[in-house]
Each structure stands twice: as structure tokens, then as C-alpha cells.
Amino acid sequence: MAIATLGTVVVDCPDPLALATFYAGLLGGTPSPDEDGSWVDLTGHPGTALAFQRAPGHVAPKWPSDGGAQQFHLDLTVDDLDAAQARILELGATPLDLGGPDRTYRVYADPAGHPVCLCAS
């Protein structure tokens, strides 16, 4: 029996507004910062709530890494991998593992270094 429901996925980063703006470009929605900009909700997009929290001293995860965990990653479902790749790169992502032509997912780092996968629907 579940004792909780997933409310919000919160991503630690050095610049919450910049990272929220990146994800708004991918998912839609509008970044809504708090007064001091240390917390930004991404509002008005479908799916699970997403927020960004300033984390002084943030260290980006390594992917892939045998010596440490990637912390987490987001799988984003897309209709057209090539079109989605063009957009995510335009928004500032870095390719990590694009695989071969028959693979159904591609891995990138968001501007704060978190892995994010574009997955064919």
C-alpha cells in the first residue's frame, strides 16, 4: 500500500532560473521564481511538477561513471528524435551518448550537467 504520492521532482543546480528556462523550452510551461530566485517552479506544463533549487557548490554528476552515481536522470518521450535533438542542442544541452541510427534513445547533459534522455515514443 502506498503511503505517498509523487508531488514534485526538484533539481539542484547553480542557476535555477536558467535551468527552468531550459526545461520550459523542452516541456513547455513558464518558470515561476520565488522572491530571491533560489527556487523556481516550472508551471503550466503537462506531467509531473518540476522545480529547480539553488545548490551552492553544486557538482554536476558524471555520466557514465563507474566511480560514482549519476544521481538521477529524466526520460523525456518525443515523437521525432532528430527534431528533438536539434531543439535540445539549441537550448544548450551537451551530447553524452547519441548511440547508433537504430537506437531509440539519446543521452544529453542539461546546462547544469544532469543527464536527460530523449526517448522515442
pLDDT in tens, 50-77: 999 999 988 888 877 776 666 778 899 9
pLDDT over 70, % of the chain? 94
The CATH code of domain 7-55 reads 3.10.180.10
Q: What is the pLDDT averaged over residues 23-49?
A: 96
**pLDDT at position 79:** 93
Q: Is 104 a residue whose pLDDT tops 80?
A: yes
Residue 32: beta bridge partners? 41
Domain ranges in the chain with CATH number 3.10.180.10: 7-55, 65-121
| Amino acid identity for residue 52 in this structure | F
Class of domain 65-121: alpha beta
Report cis status (omega within 30 of 0) of the bond before 101.
Answer: no
